[in-house]
């Protein structure tokens, strides 16, 4: 059947259902692809060849009995901060280098329930803290479009794996843009769902009020199919919302005539690369030609989003990562009889520089005498940012913006300048602050590198924003562009 890893989910599903191929054959095709390119890309921390083939065999038995759902027998990668029973979950950190969960995250359990096949765990910035996938404790991931460049972060392994054909799709997490930004930089589709739509149970916490699990795919149809499986209320997650899951695939009718699309002026920054600006503006013109109504809008508190995020998220990180003390689990320094020294050395050696930087930022913001000036004020700004979105969504159905103001940059280009690194997430952070859904879809190339178009909607408007993305995808050729790998 040739290179099966090049097919879309729908094509794979049709072949599996018709028994033209087996899940074992499909899975082996991906494992062969991983062997061919993984040494160059480094998209995985753990590759589960034996587990994948065993799950593929079970999927084939299931299909033979007539049970072939959309994702049955199809191989995927999962970010390495999402718990997988019996498979190491390192969070890209020395602190959890040997941690093997005894349970599955809810999203993994739901995918297992339809017979999906786990290929392995995706490389990532340590504990999800980073924008370039250079903060992994093990090795940086490379962008399949140009191996000298970063794939984006923190779900860089997932984006690179999908773009390079090392997985049919990936499950990532998005705290400040960690699905959408690498999706944009690797030329794939990435969705950050409404906060509470997908269970966070089994997702190792970075910033609990921001984190959200979502899919990374080659096209919008695939994205909708995966969202249908992983969404829904979960009693194990108190932030999971009791809502019925609609058929997101049925929302993809390709018609956006009369849809009102807001263009927020604050997202078109002075520091935006000219190639990105041109591609996004061209995409807006395409949407207009397709019948959408373009409405200039303003989100004035957007300018405070970066500062707001880097107070609130590190504050939550400081609290969440306090559990890694060398006593309960994870790396533990034992060469001392002093408990305080043991804890200090454990955390110093177990965490990387970026994680330690964010813990210190958060601890400072929460400390006595600074709580009101920083954390409390940032929470008030968060409310203002949410209010801005609420006001704008009374005028328009969705917002159109760049996903990232820059294309993928060279490895090491920003590692010594944290503020410059943080600034590349300026277009994605506000969505997490407000808990909104947003999707990134390819909208062109700048200097041969992918540019992402971000579509933002009000809470629980996944069906609408996916249809806008799908309509754009159908009327352009950009989703068909793939990296040429040597």
- Quick: pLDDT tens for 72-92: 999 999 999 999 999 999 999
Q: What is the pLDDT of residue 185?
A: 98
Which residues is 76 bridged to in the sheet? 118
The pLDDT tens digits for 411-432 are: 999 999 999 999 999 999 999 9
Task: Look at residue 1 and tell me whether its pLDDT is greater than 60.
Answer: no
Containing structural domain, residue 249 = 4-259
User: Is the per-residue pLDDT at 159 higher than 80?
Assistant: yes
Extract the tokens encoding 482. Answer: 């793939």
Range 430-458 average pLDDT = 98
481 — pLDDT class (breaks 50, 70, 90): very high
DSSP label of 18:
T
Here the tokens at position 222 are 């695939």
The pair of structure tokens assigned to 24 is 């074992």
pTM, full prediction: 0.97
Residue 299 lies in a domain: no
**Counted domains in the chain:** 1
- The whole-angstrom separation of Cα 193 and Cα 263 is 21
What's the pLDDT at 195? 98
Q: Is the dihedral of CA 204, 206, 212, 218 positive or negative?
A: negative
In a domain, 281, yes or no: no
d(C-alpha 6, C-alpha 165), whole Å: 7
Of 141, 139, 175, 132, the closest CA to residue 161 belongs to: 141
pLDDT class for 486, splitting at 50, 70, 90?
A: low
Per-residue confidence band for 37, with pLDDT thresholds at 50, 70 and 90: very high
Q: Is 70 known to be catalytic?
A: no
Q: In 3-88, at which residue ranges do the beta strands (DSSP E only) sit? A: 44-47, 75-79
Query: Mean pLDDT in the chain?
Result: 97
pLDDT of residue 121: 98
Token pair 């940032």 is at which residue?
378
Joined together, the tokens standing for residue 463 give 């069906």
Residue 79 annotated among the catalytic residues of the structure = yes
Q: Measure the CA–CA gap between 433 and 113, rounded to whole angstroms.
A: 32
Catalytic: 178?
A: yes
Q: What is the mean pLDDT of residues 298-313?
A: 97
> For 98-104, which contacts have Cβ atoms below 8 Å and span 24 or more sequence positions?
99/329, 99/330, 101/202, 103/202, 104/202
pLDDT tens for each residue of 203-239 = 999 999 999 999 999 999 999 999 999 999 999 999 9
**β-bridge mates for residue 214, sequence order:** 172
* % of residues, the chain, pLDDT over 70: 99
Q: Does the bond joining 168 to the residue before it have cis omega, within 30 degrees of 0?
A: no
| 465 assigned to some structural domain | no
pLDDT at position 116, please? 98
Which one of the listed residues 23, 178, 471, 479 is annotated catalytic? 178
CB 137 within 8 A of CB 354: no
Give a yes or no: residue 478 inside a domain.
no
Structure tokens at 384: 């203002």
In a domain, residue 476? The reply is no
What pLDDT is stored for residue 2 in this prediction?
67
Check residue 197 and report its DSSP letter. Answer: T
Q: Residue 129 belongs to a domain with what CATH number?
A: 3.90.1300.10
Backbone angles phi, psi at 331, to 5 degrees: -55, 140
The three-class DSSP label of residue 82 is strand
Confirm if 120 and 50 have CB atoms less than 8 A apart. Answer: no
Q: Is the pLDDT of residue 244 over 70?
A: yes
Catalytic residue among 23, 154, 315, 471: 154
Over residues 337-379, the pLDDT tens digits come to: 999 999 999 999 999 999 999 999 999 999 988 999 999 999 9
Does residue 195 fall inside a structural domain?
Answer: yes
Element (H, E) at 13: helix 9-17
CB atoms within 10 A of CB 293: 15
How does residue 329 score in pLDDT terms, banded at 50, 70 and 90?
confident
Mean pLDDT, residues 323-332 taken together: 91
Residue carrying the six token digits 């508190």: 301
Q: In the chain, helix, strand, coil percent, each to 5?
A: 45, 15, 40
Domain contains 324: no
Catalytic pick among 42, 70, 79, 142: 79
288-293 average pLDDT score: 98
Helix (H) or strand (E) holding 431: helix 429-434
Domain-embedded: residue 430 = no
Q: Are 260 and 287 in contact (CB under 8 A)?
A: no
């Amino acid at each position: 059947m040739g290179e099966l890893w090049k097919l879309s989910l729908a094509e794979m599903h049709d072949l599996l259902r018709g028994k033209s191929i087996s899940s074992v054959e499909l899975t082996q095709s991906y494992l062969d692809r991983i062997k061919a390119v993984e040494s160059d890309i480094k998209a995985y921390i753990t590759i589960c060849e034996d587990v994948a083939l065993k799950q593929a065999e079970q999927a084939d038995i299931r299909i033979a009995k007539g049970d072939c759902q959309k994702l049955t027998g199809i191989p995927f990668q999962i970010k390495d901060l999402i718990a997988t029973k019996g498979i190491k979950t390192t969070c890209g950190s020395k602190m959890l280098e040997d941690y093997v969960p005894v349970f599955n995250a809810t999203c993994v359990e739901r995918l297992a329930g339809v017979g999906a096949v786990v290929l392995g765990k995706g490389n990532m910035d340590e504990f999800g803290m980073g924008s370039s996938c250079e903060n992994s404790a093990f090795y940086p991931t490379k962008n399949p479009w140009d191996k000298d460049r970063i794939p984006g972060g923190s779900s860089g392994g997932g984006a690179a794996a999908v773009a390079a054909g090392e997985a049919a799709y990936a499950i990532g997490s998005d705290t400040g843009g960690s699905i959408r930004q690498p999706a944009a930089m690797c030329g794939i589709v990435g969705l950050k769902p409404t906060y509470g739509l997908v269970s966070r149970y089994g997702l190792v916490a970075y910033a609990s009020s921001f984190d959200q699990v979502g899919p990374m795919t080659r096209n919008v149809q695939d994205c909708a199919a995966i969202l249908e499986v992983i969404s829904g209320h979960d009693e194990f997650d108190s932030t999971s919302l009791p809502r019925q899951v609609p058929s997101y695939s049925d929302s993809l009718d390709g018609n956006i005539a009369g849809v009102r699309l807001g263009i927020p002026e604050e997202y078109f920054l002075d520091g935006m690369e000219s190639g990105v600006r041109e591609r996004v503006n061209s995409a807006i013109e395409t949407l207009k030609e397709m019948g959408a109504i373009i409405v200039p809008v303003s989100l004035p508190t957007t300018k405070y989003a970066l500062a707001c995020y880097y107070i609130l998220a590190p504050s939550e990180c400081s609290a969440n990562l306090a559990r890694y003390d060398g006593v309960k689990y994870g790396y533990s320094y034992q060469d001392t009889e002093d408990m305080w020294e043991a804890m200090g050395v454990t955390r110093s050696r177990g965490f990387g520089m970026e994680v330690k930087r964010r813990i210190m930022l958060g601890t400072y913001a929460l400390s006595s005498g600074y709580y009101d000036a920083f954390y409390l004020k940032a929470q008030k700004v968060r409310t203002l940012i949410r209010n801005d979105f609420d006001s704008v969504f009374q005028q328009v159905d969705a917002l159109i913006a760049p996903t990232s103001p820059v294309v993928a940059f060279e490895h090491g280009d920003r590692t010594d300048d944290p503020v410059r690194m943080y600034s590349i997430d300026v277009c994605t952070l506000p969505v997490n602050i407000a808990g909104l859904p947003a999707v990134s879809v390819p909208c062109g190339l700048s200097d041969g590198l992918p540019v992402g178009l971000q579509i933002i909607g009000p809470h629980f408007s996944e069906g609408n924003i996916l249809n806008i993305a799908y309509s754009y995808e159908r009327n352009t050729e950009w989703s068909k562009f793939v990296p040429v790998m040597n």
